[in-house]
Amino acid sequence: MTLSDLIWALVSFVLTVLVFSYLLGDNPFLRFASSVFVGAAAGYVVVVALDQVLWPKLFEPLIFGSISNEQRILLLVPLVLGILLLFKLFPRLTRLGNGSMAYLVGSGAAVIIGGALLGTLFPQSAATINLFDLGAAESRGASPAGQLIEGLYVLVGVSATLVYFYFGARGKTEQEIQRPPWISVVSDVGGIFLAITLGALFAGVYVAALTALVERVQFLWNTILALFIR
């Protein structure tokens, strides 16, 4: 083991022990390790943003690039918006950054909605519909009856889950607000599908966390063997 490997192993060992000190409750050692993690992550993000985004895509073309005036004007737009966004740090000048913030929120919402529609909703709807293509099932040697059952199961699950989020209701008085009976029955079925899905997601997160815990405990044990016993 080289000297640099030894130093990094000791640093990793100490930080891991500091994080595990959370088992004793909130303490200064845990806060120190959290601060180191947040600071390192923030520094990494800043360096990556400067090295791979701001400098090669904005400052270098503006200063050294042989570009047309139209392209230079287009590059000035994000520069001005970024400078205005910095005014959000000052309470008296925060209004100057509202335009940049509105642009970020609007473009972010558009990207999220577009991604949800084109990357999730439409493909999942198409996949659900394709389950009822029994001819395709026969062409690849699958059982048409089995695929039909699978398609009905998926269709019921998707429909019931969507109905679960139906919040419209009617009642004779404001104190007596009730869902239509069939909505209540279908939403209960959707609740079962949601419970199964959330349970599977929780199990996956738990397994991932347990795997990370086992890896860290194994690292501590191997480090102790390498540094203090052998």
Residue 125, pLDDT above cutoff 80:
yes
Q: What percent of the chain has pLDDT over 70?
A: 93
β partners of residue 178: 170
In 141-226, which residue ranges form alpha helices assigned H by DSSP? 144-164, 181-224
HSE-up (13 A, CA, CB side) for residue 3: 0
Residue 44, pLDDT above cutoff 90:
yes
- What is the average pLDDT value for the chain, to the nearest integer? 86
pLDDT at 151: 86
Nearest to 61 by CA among 78, 48, 83, 45: 78
Q: pLDDT tier at 39 (50, 70, 90 boundaries)?
A: very high
Prediction pTM value? 0.64
Residue 204, pLDDT above cutoff 90:
yes
Under 8 Å between Cβ of 151 and 131 = yes
- Residue range 209-216: mean pLDDT, rounded: 91
